[in-house]
Amino acid sequence: MSAPAALRHEKISIEALKVIQRLQQNGYQAYIAGGGVRDLLLGRHPKDFDIATSAHPNEVRRVFHNCRLIGRRFRLAHILFRGLFIEVATFRAAVDAETDEQPEAPLAGRDEPPEAFRARDGMILRDNVFGTAEQDAWRRDFTVNALFYDPEAHKVIDYCDGLPDLERRILRSIGDPFVRFREDPVRMLRACRFAGTLDFQIEPHADHAISQLRDDLALASPSRMYEEVLKLFNSGAAEAIFRHLHRTGLFRVIFPEAGAWFATEEGEEALLRIYHVLRQMDVWKKHGHGISAPLAWALAFGPYHEQRAAILQREQGLKPAPALAIATTEHLRGLSKRVQVFKWVVRDASLLMAAQPVFEKTREGVRSSRFRTRHYFGDALVYLKLRSAWTGQGGDLVHWWQQHL
C-alpha cells in the first residue's frame, strides 16, 4: 500500500535514504524496518533507522566501502557515516526447532506463522537463517513491529496486519502468544515496554499468556535482562512500564524479594513513592537529561533498600551509612540469577545510598570539601532531593547543600 498521510518522509534520516537507494540501485530489496516504521506512522521521532535487505552481509560490504560487519551468530552490517552508523540486516527466516531447517515462506493472508516458524519444544536457540522479506516479517514479535517502508516507492509493506493494530493502538503478538512467549520469554517484558512507551493496550489473549507464562522470564539470560531493564529506565515511559510489570506479575519474577515486599501494606505505600520517582525520570528523559545507571537502580529500589537497612541497624547494630551500603549491595548482587547488574553499578549505587546520612553529618570544614569531590556526590544529591520531595522531610538539608555548592 502507499504511505499513509501521517508518515512524514522528511523525518527519515538522509543517511538511511542513501543506504536504501544504493542497495536498490544494485538490485537488492531494501526497506526501513520495524520500530522506525511504527514510530513514523505514529508521528513520533524514531531514535534510529534499521534497514532490512535481501543482500547478504558480504554483498552489503561490496556495495559500501564504509561498511563494517559485526556479530558471529548473525552477521550485521554497519554503514559508517560521520558521527553515526546505519545498521543493515539481511532478511531472516525462523528455524524449525526440531529439524533445524529453513522453513518455507508462509502463505499470504495467514493470521499466524506456519508451524515451521515456531519452536515446538520451547525456547528458540538458533535464529540465523537468511530468508525473504515476508519470512522476516513473520518471525518478528508484534504486528506493529513487522512493518516495512520503501522510501523510494513511498510504500508501506504490511504482511502481518500491523496497520489495523497500529490504528487501534493494540499490541498483538504475531502468531499464538503462548508459543511465541515460550520461544523467547523476554518478549513478555518487551510487550510491557512497548505498551508503556506507545500507550498501547496489550491484546487480551497476549495479556492472558503473560499472566500464565510469566515465570518463564526467569529462564532468560541475566546479561540480556540487564540491558532490557536499562531500556525500561531510559524509555521516557518508565512509570507506565513499571505499572504494567506490577500488573502482570513480571516485576516479582524479575525482582523476587523486592516484589514480595512491595506486595505488603508497607511496600504498597512505598510503591507510590517509586512511581513518583519514575515519573520524574521520565520528565528528565523528555527534556534530554539522562541519568546514570547507579542512580536509576538506587531510585527504583530506594525505599526497599532503606527498609532492609533499618532491619540491619535494628538487628545487627549497624550505623546508617554502612547499613544502607550493605542492604543495597546484597540486593543488587542477589539479583545475579535474574539480572546481571554490573559490579561498578552495584558499587556506585551502594556508595550513593550510603552517602545519604553523610549529608546531615558533613556540612562544614575539610570533610565537607572532600565529600563534594566524590565521583558519586552529584547522584547522591539528586537522590537526597527526590527523597525529600516524596517524604516531605529534609527540605532544610537540601536547601543548605544547594546554597553551599
For residue range 10-47, list pLDDT tens digits in order: 789 999 999 999 999 999 999 999 899 999 999 998 88
The mean per-residue pLDDT over the stretch 190-214 comes to 97
Find residue 70's DSSP bridge partners.
76
Beta strands across the sheet bearing 51-53: 67-70, 76-81, 84-90, 51-53, 30-33, 147-150, 155-158
User: For residue 187, which phi and psi values (nearest 5 degrees)?
Assistant: -60, -30
Q: Residue 158 is placed in which grid cell? A: 504490511
For residue range 245-270, list pLDDT tens digits in order: 999 999 999 999 999 999 999 999 99
Are the beta carbons of 207 and 227 closer than 8 angstroms?
no
Radius of gyration of the chain (CA): 24
3-state class of 113 per DSSP?
coil
Residue 119: pLDDT over 90: no
| Alpha carbons 267 and 273: distance in angstroms, whole number | 10
Residues recognised as catalytic: 48, 50, 141
- CA-based diameter of the chain, in Å? 76
For residue range 335-386, list pLDDT tens digits in order: 999 999 999 999 999 999 999 999 988 766 557 788 889 999 999 999 999 9
Q: Residue 144 is placed in which grid cell? A: 506493529
* Predicted pLDDT of residue 393: 87
* Predicted pLDDT of residue 83: 82
pTM for the full model? 0.85
Name the band, by pLDDT with cuts 50, 70 and 90, for residue 103: very low
| Alpha carbons 381 and 16: distance in angstroms, whole number | 41
Residue 4: pLDDT over 70: no
3-state class of 172 per DSSP?
coil
Other CB atoms closer than 10 Å to residue 158's CB: what's the count?
Answer: 20
Domains of the chain (ranges, CATH numbers)? 9-173 (3.30.460.10), 238-403 (1.10.3090.10)
Helix spans in 68-201 (H): 133-138, 162-168, 177-183, 186-198
User: For residue 125, which phi and psi values (nearest 5 degrees)?
Assistant: -105, -20
